[in-house]
Structure 1
Amino acid sequence: MKVLLFSWEYPPHMVGGLGQHVFDLSRFLVKQGIEVHIITPRVQSHPDYQEENGVHIHRVGSSYLEGENFKSWTFRFNSDAIREAVNINTRIGGFDLIHAHDWLVAYPGRAVAKIFEIPLVTTIHATEHGRNLGLHNRMQLEINEIEKNLALEADRVICCSQYMQDEISTLFGRPRKDITIIPNGVDPGLFELMPDSPRFNISAQDRIIFFLGRLVPEKGIWFLLNTLPRVLAEVPQARLYIGGKGPMLPELKRLTHKLNLEDKVVFTGFIYHEERNFIYNKARVAVFPSLYEPFGIVALEAMATRTPVIVGDVGGLAEIVESEVTGIKVRPANEDELAQAIIRILSDDNLADSLCDNASHMIASVYNWDVIAQSTIKVYKEILEQRGNKLLNLG
């Protein structure tokens, strides 16, 4: 089977969890015998074509630059992606199926599937409505319409949680039977590599609290900052590391200054895998106080490093974590619950160890990429069989 994946994120171009998902899915599909090609934006100092982990990576267009008109950049990339897909299709003797990841590649996904009359599968990782807790301007309304068309035209929609299945069906009117839930996964082997010379000075006495993700409103990071004075009153050795970048960074730094926490909070900026692994290795707890979260792959990543997790009881995070068993759930925006949960884990090593043991077992049995790849291939085969039966009936 020859499958073409469209994704606007792929290593080293990583913005959120989508790029990591496509990276892991593609290489595990190859392990199952699928020929996988990915079309993704160009990245400086990386070749336009390379084969990595058996995956054929094709980079087109240009890298997105801060301040550039995002709509214009998306249109140019999508146009280049369609041309590249047509060229590759000719060279390899034809694709069997297209798999598009999120709205930014909806146009090439839909167009190429129609050009070659082959099935289209889409994974919708999040919605514009969910990311912004509603639709508030023209751009958001346009993106919502693109998502709706993609969800309705695809032969099958894949999402990562029951929460997302409900959201997609409610927002776009796609029947739930056409939306397959396949969870994200995590590969513990990716968290073993450490930096040769870490740039973060973490002592053995520090009790590290770690947040990692996009610095955007739906992640609820300011609630975590607001709890820190209460945590420090009980655990003076606590320090908060905030990993990632995003539009809320200036506001979060102002809040840190207002709370007089500059010596207790470290903003790492974007961090690469080795640095991420180093901080997880030192962290005593990972906290993700989200207000909206389609899945929450960061929680799985923390579990893979044996770091106890605290999450907002919302969306996919609520489905991943069994409270008091594999982590602790708190009500979204409830700073009292969040502070007490952090203090409990930082003060109780037995509780932390128990959460880590249970979480490790869950990752091995449920969120294993071999299982996820097999579930994805099952969807591919079902769609190809349905499309074949339709053609037979038409004949």
Structure 2
Amino acid sequence: TMKILHLIYDHINNPWVGGGGAVRCYELNKRLVKMGHKVTVLTGYYPNAQNYREGDLEFYFVGSGKSYTLSVFSYTYEAIKFLKKYGKNFDLIVEDFAPWNPVFSFLFHNKLVLQVHQKEGVEIIKRYNLAGLPFYLIEKFYPKIFKNIIAVSEISLKKFRIKGVVIPNGIDENIIQENVLLGDYIGFIGRIDIYHKGLDIMLQAIKDIDVKLKIAGKGKDEKKLKEMIRFHNLDQKVEFLGFLYGEDKIKFIKNSLFMIMPSRYEAQGIVALESAAVGKPVIVSNIPELSYVTENGFGLSFQKESYTDLRDKIIYLLKRPELILQLGKNGINYAKKLTWDNLSYQYEKYLTDLIRDDK
């Protein structure tokens, strides 16, 4: 039995983030507990968050819930305090890396794993100008301190210029469909972060197309997104559904024609995997991290940030229902290889080998 401390700011119910890293953390740790291990997850506080446990999987929320910014930075401070006090009680520490809240776990333990997702690079400077410089530098140098690294893709390792093992994101095998159906709208589901997820590009792209777009998700830009929909006179065409989870989320993807992921940067994109599992093609921006969608034949890509190219790809697919069905079938075949159950065995083996290794 291993006693593991997992440090990650994000949590699946966090109204500000609730992204793929949080889903991964929950799905893998839930399975580690079933294998007989004990996992404590230290995560960022948000309004009304309460500590809870599911058997030997415990969630502790630390920091301030007054605002997203305060929550992120106070999490770092509180996590370091927690590590000082309790770090040695654990056999192993897993730190999920984000440049906004490095918790310097290497100062408190010698059995450590850093999990890396996406590298934002110059996007940080583009977004925050000079204020982004410290985070740009943290992202550049911090991961290089760690010896044991898990990445969600080879591309992430290359971009960070580090060595590590790849354990990708996955899907729950229960959602894999056998039959593909044509829906009646195009969909986006994910964090409502306009810049990161390229939602501005998507709204521009659908302006002149006769199609219904449904957007699901939560995040800090919800109000701004609604204003944008009004500004572009898209109230009749675009429907914002808010946050969907579990069965509702899968039903939303399943009933679509296809999904859109217009991200400016991304890690691996669990939504693309979930779409594949239910037989739905995805139109993705042509960033390297999402190239597996076209390589495995379950979607199309468009030139990142080009709303005209995205518009062309949407029209192209809308005119070809037989292609939508074929891409959907390809997606199902791909998703069968990437279930959380299979990935959790790889994850557990990596962690147990690390504890046994006394070097």
| TM-score for the superposition, normalised by structure 1 | 0.77
Q: Give the Cα–Cα distance (whole angstroms) in 2 for the partners of residues 35 and 205 of structure 1.
A: 43
In structure 1, which of residues 202, 207, 210 is the aligned counterpart of residue 184 of structure 2? 207
Aligned to 2:312: 340
- Give 1:83-122 correspondences, 5 Å limit: 85-86=86-87, 94-103=89-98, 106-107=102-103, 109-113=105-109, 118-122=110-114
Cα pair 1:227 1:335 within 8 Å, conserved:
yes
Cα separation, partners in 2 of 1:255 and 1:61, compared to 1, 3 Å: closer
Q: Give the Cα–Cα distance (whole angstroms) in 1 for the partners of residues 60 and 316 of structure 2.
A: 47
Cα pair 1:241 1:266 within 8 Å, conserved:
yes
**Does residue 1:370 correspond to 2:341, yes or no?**
yes
Aligned to 2:117: 125
Aligned to 1:143: 135
Cα pair 2:186 2:257 within 8 Å, conserved:
yes
Q: Give the Cα–Cα distance (whole angstroms) in 2 for the partners of residues 359 and 322 of structure 1.
A: 11
Letter in 1 for 2:189: L
Find the residue that maps to 2:159 and give its secondary structure. Answer: helix
Letter in 2 for 1:364: K
Aligned to 2:62: 61
Q: 5+ unaligned residues in a row in structure 2: which ranges?
A: none
In structure 2, which of residues 279, 289, 300 is the aligned counterpart of residue 328 of structure 1? 300
In structure 2, which of residues 160, 181, 184 is the aligned counterpart of residue 168 of structure 1? 160
Report the Cα offset of residue 275 of structure 1.
3.5
Cα pair 1:122 1:150 within 8 Å, conserved:
no
Report the Cα offset of residue 95 of structure 1.
2.5
Cα separation, partners in 2 of 1:105 and 1:290, compared to 1, 3 Å: closer
Letter in 2 for 1:267: F
Report the Cα offset of residue 274 of structure 1.
4.2
Cα separation, partners in 2 of 1:105 and 1:247, compared to 1, 3 Å: closer
- Give 1:276-315 correspondences, 5 Å limit: 276-315=249-288
Higher-Rg member (1/2)? 1
Q: Give the Cα–Cα distance (whole angstroms) in 1 for the partners of residues 50 and 101 of structure 2.
A: 21
Cα pair 2:64 2:70 within 8 Å, conserved:
no
Q: Deviations over 1:146-188 (max 9, x none)?
A: 444541222212211222112111xxxx4xxx22222111114
Find the residue that maps to 2:185 and give its secondary structure. Answer: strand
Find the residue that maps to 1:283 and give its secondary structure. Answer: coil
Cα separation, partners in 2 of 1:264 and 1:315, compared to 1, 3 Å: same
Aligned to 2:171: 186
| TM-score for the superposition, normalised by structure 2 | 0.84
Find the residue that maps to 1:263 and give its secondary structure. Answer: coil
Cα separation, partners in 2 of 1:205 and 1:311, compared to 1, 3 Å: closer
Q: Give the Cα–Cα distance (whole angstroms) in 2 for the partners of residues 326 and 131 of structure 1.
A: 27
Report the Cα offset of residue 62 of structure 1.
4.2
Cα separation, partners in 2 of 1:348 and 1:68, compared to 1, 3 Å: closer
Report the Cα offset of residue 213 of structure 1.
2.0
Q: Give the Cα–Cα distance (whole angstroms) in 1 for the partners of residues 135 and 212 of structure 2.
A: 39
Cα separation, partners in 2 of 1:224 and 1:72, compared to 1, 3 Å: closer
Find the residue that maps to 2:86 and give its secondary structure. Answer: helix
Report the Cα offset of residue 313 of structure 1.
1.5
Q: Give the Cα–Cα distance (whole angstroms) in 2 for the partners of residues 74 and 346 of structure 1.
A: 45
Q: Deviations over 1:310-348 (max 9, x none)?
A: 11121311124326x211222223334322332343343
Q: Give the Cα–Cα distance (whole angstroms) in 1 for the partners of residues 175 and 78 of structure 2.
A: 30
Report the Cα offset of residue 34 of structure 1.
3.6
Aligned to 1:5: 6
Identity among equivalent pairs (%): 25
**Does residue 1:352 correspond to 2:324, yes or no?**
yes
Report the Cα offset of residue 353 of structure 1.
1.8
Cα separation, partners in 2 of 1:26 and 1:264, compared to 1, 3 Å: same
Letter in 2 for 1:375: Q
Q: Give the Cα–Cα distance (whole angstroms) in 2 for the partners of residues 210 and 181 of structure 1.
A: 29
Letter in 1 for 2:97: D
Report the Cα offset of residue 47 of structure 1.
4.6
Q: Give the Cα–Cα distance (whole angstroms) in 2 for the partners of residues 314 and 293 of structure 1.
A: 8
Q: Give the Cα–Cα distance (whole angstroms) in 2 for the partners of residues 133 and 355 of structure 1.
A: 37
How many residue pairs match? The answer is: 351
Cα separation, partners in 2 of 1:345 and 1:100, compared to 1, 3 Å: same
RMSD over aligned Cα, in angstroms?
Answer: 3.1
Most deviating of 355-364 and 335-344: 335-344
Report the Cα offset of residue 112 of structure 1.
3.0
Cα separation, partners in 2 of 1:74 and 1:47, compared to 1, 3 Å: closer
Q: 5+ unaligned residues in a row in structure 1: which ranges?
A: 193-203, 233-237, 391-395
